[in-house]
C-alpha cells in the first residue's frame, strides 16, 4: 500500500498536475495540504473519476487539507482537538480497514509560524503541543497510524541546502525542532530517515531566487509512523521530478510504501 503526502499549493491551480500525478504514481491514499478551497468547490469529480474517494476539510483562500483514497472511509474526523476557537483548516483523519485491522491516516498542515515576533509563532508551538497530546492518545490504540503532511519544520541542518540561512526562522527555530523531536519521543518514526540518512534530500524549493535551479531546498514534508506502521514500512521516495512540471507546486510528493493491503 502506498501512502503519499503533497502540499499542492492550490488544488484548482494544480488540478492538471494532480490528476497526472495520481495516474502516474497511483498512491492508495494521498494526503493533500494547502488545497485553498472550500469543500463545496473542491474538484472532486475529476479525482473520483480516477477511482478515489474524497474527503476534505477546506477553507476559503488558504490552508485546507484533503484525503484521497482508493479505500473506502470507515470514519472521518476534521480538526485537531484541543482549541475550540481554532478555525483554521489544518487537520483531517481518515480510518480505513486493512488486512491488519484499522489504519489511521492524517493529512496535516502545520502552521508556518513566521514572523517569530508575532502571534503566529506561539500559535505554531501551541498547535504542535495539541498534536503531541492527540498523538499520545491515538498511539494507545496500538494501530497503524500515519501522520503525513507539511510540518513546516526542518528537523536537522542536513535537511537544508543552506542551514545558516534559516537560523531564526520559525521552521528552524530550536523550539520548533524540539517540538518535532517530542513527537518522535512518543514512539513515532520519521519514515524517510528510517530508510535513508543521505544529505541533499529536499521536498520544498521556493519560487524565488532560482531556488529550484540551484537545488536550494529544504525538507519539511514528513510522514511520522506509529510502531505498528513503522514495522510495515517497505520504502520511501521523494518524487522530485514533479517540481520541474509546468505550473508546479513549490513542494513535491513524499511516498511511503507499506506491507498492508485493503481488507
The pTM for the full model equals 0.98
150 annotated to a ligand binding site: yes
Structural domain of 47: 2-258
The torsion defined by the Cα of 255, 256, 257 and 260, in degrees rounded to 10, comes to -120
Residues that are catalytic: 109, 150, 251
* Domain assignment of residue 120, yes or no: yes
* Domain assignment of residue 263, yes or no: no
152 annotated to a ligand binding site: yes
28 annotated to a ligand binding site: no
3-state secondary structure of 13: coil
pLDDT in the model for residue 67: 99
Taking the C-alpha atoms of residue 191 and residue 232, their distance in angstroms, rounded to an integer, is 11
* Domain total of the chain: 1
Q: Count of alpha carbons within 13 Å of 133, Cβ hemisphere only?
A: 9
Taking the C-alpha atoms of residue 72 and residue 5, their distance in angstroms, rounded to an integer, is 18
pLDDT in the model for residue 100: 86
3-state secondary structure of 234: strand
Per-position pLDDT tens, the chain of length 263: 999 999 999 999 999 999 999 999 999 999 999 999 999 999 999 999 999 999 999 999 899 999 999 999 999 999 999 999 999 999 999 999 999 899 999 999 999 999 999 999 999 999 999 999 999 999 999 999 999 999 999 999 999 999 999 999 999 999 999 999 999 999 999 999 999 999 999 999 999 989 999 999 999 999 999 999 999 999 999 999 999 999 999 999 999 999 999 98
H/E segment holding residue 181: helix 174-185
Q: Count of alpha carbons within 13 Å of 204, Cβ hemisphere only?
A: 20
99 annotated to a ligand binding site: no
* Domain assignment of residue 240, yes or no: yes
CATH number of the CATH domain containing 99: 3.60.10.10
* Domain assignment of residue 30, yes or no: yes
250 annotated to a ligand binding site: yes
Q: What is the DSSP letter of 188?
A: -
Taking the C-alpha atoms of residue 84 and residue 171, their distance in angstroms, rounded to an integer, is 25
Taking CA atoms, 168 is separated from 121, 152, 158, 177, in Å, by: 11, 14, 16, 12
pLDDT in the model for residue 6: 99
34 annotated to a ligand binding site: yes
Q: Are 112 and 97 in contact (CB under 8 A)?
A: no
* Tens-place pLDDT, residues 194-230: 999 999 999 999 999 899 999 999 999 999 999 999 9
3-state secondary structure of 192: helix
Q: Are 43 and 15 in contact (CB under 8 A)?
A: yes
Amino acid at each position: 500500500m502506498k501512502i503519499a503526502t503533497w502540499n499542492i499549493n492550490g488544488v484548482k491551480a494544480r488540478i492538471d498536475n494532480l490528476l497526472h500525478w495520481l495516474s502516474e504514481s497511483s498512491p492508495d491514499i494521498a494526503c493533500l495540504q494547502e488545497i485553498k478551497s472550500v469543500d463545496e468547490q473542491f474538484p472532486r469529480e475529476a479525482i473520483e473519476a480516477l477511482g478515489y474517494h474524497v474527503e476534505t476539510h477546506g477553507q476559503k483562500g488558504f490552508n485546507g487539507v484533503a484525503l484521497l483514497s482508493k479505500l473506502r472511509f470507515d470514519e472521518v474526523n476534521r480538526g485537531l482537538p484541543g482549541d475550540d476557537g481554532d478555525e483554521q483548516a489544518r487537520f483531517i483523519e481518515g480510518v480505513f480497514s486493512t488486512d491488519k485491522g484499522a489504519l489511521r491516516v492524517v493529512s496535516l498542515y502545520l502552521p508556518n509560524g513566521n514572523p517569530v515576533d508575532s502571534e503566529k509563532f506561539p500559535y505554531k508551538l501551541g498547535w504542535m503541543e495539541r498534536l503531541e497530546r492527540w498523538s499520545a492518545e491515538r498511539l494507545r490504540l496500538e494501530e497503524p497510524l500515519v501522520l503525513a503532511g507539511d510540518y513546516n519544520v526542518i528537523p536537522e541542518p542536513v535537511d537544508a541546502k543552506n542551514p545558516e540561512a534559516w537560523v531564526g526562522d520559525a521552521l528552524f527555530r530550536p523550539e520548533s525542532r524540539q517540538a518535532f523531536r517530542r513527537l518522535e519521543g512518543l514512539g513515532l518514526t520519521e519514515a524517510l530517515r528510517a530508510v535513508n540518512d543521505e544529505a541533499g534530500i529536499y521536498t520544498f524549493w521556493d519560487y524565488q531566487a532560482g531556488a529550484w535551479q540551484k537545488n536550494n531546498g529544504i525538507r519539511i514534508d514528513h510522514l511520522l509512523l506509529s510502531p505498528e506502521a513503522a514495522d510495515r514500512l517497505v520504502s520511501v521516495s521523494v518524487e522530485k521530478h514533479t517540481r520541474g512540471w509546468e505550473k508546479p507546486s513549490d513542494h513535491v510528493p513524499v511516498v511511503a510504501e507499506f506491507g498492508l493491503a485493503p481488507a
